[in-house]
Amino acid sequence: MKRQLWALMYAKHAFSDAKRVAELHIKYKCDSLHELHYPFVTSMAITYARPFTKCGTIPKLPKHYSQFTDKQLKLVHDTIIKCRHEFYAHSDATALKPLRMFVSASATGLRANVQSQDKGLSALVTPPLINLCETQLERIENDCGVLVQRIFPQKTLLQVLKAEMSNSTVIEIFWPKSD
């Protein structure tokens, strides 16, 4: 159970970071031509998708985090995961077609600049991504509460809080550590 709790906290961190990058994308008014658009959407896709991919001993999130009754949330989630796998994290060359090359002449010779037709995330996905992250963060809060109650019986937590004379405490869970 402690591994599950650790994985949820890891996911919470990822969703919080993805949400913050999406908020910066809006703050800096990044359309698809803005110089920060590609770095921001790359970060959003990779960071949001991180808890859904297996990496070493870190478990993926349970399947219910990929299921939504809201069709827009499902579409945004699926689009981000797909773009992460095919475009942002793995550089699937087919996703970069077509490429445009701009050639210009200068006093020092010819200069070429290559631009891909971004088939990844558009600036339009940013507000729905914020909503998606907020939804995932709410789910995690609920699931973490259930796990904390299972791992630490209420009586035990109340004793810790009373001993620290506080209404909150820090519980560290180190990774990797078996249950």
User: Which token pair is 160?
Assistant: 């810790």
User: Which token pair is 66?
Assistant: 């990929």
Question: Strand (E) positions, 50-167?
Answer: 99-106, 109-116
How many domains are contained in the chain? 1
Residue type, 34: H
- Whether 175 maps to a domain, the answer reads no
- Whether 168 maps to a domain, the answer reads no
- Whether 21 maps to a domain, the answer reads yes
- Whether 170 maps to a domain, the answer reads no
- Whether 105 maps to a domain, the answer reads yes
Q: What is the band of 177 on the pLDDT scale with cuts at 50, 70, 90?
A: very low
- Whether 79 maps to a domain, the answer reads yes
- Whether 76 maps to a domain, the answer reads yes
Give CA–CA dist 27/6, Å, rounded. 32
Percent of the chain clearing pLDDT 70 (strictly above): 74
- What domain range is 109 assigned to? 2-151
Dump pLDDT digits (tens) for 92-104: 556 555 556 667 7
The residue to which tokens 């995690």 are assigned: 140
- Whether 166 maps to a domain, the answer reads no
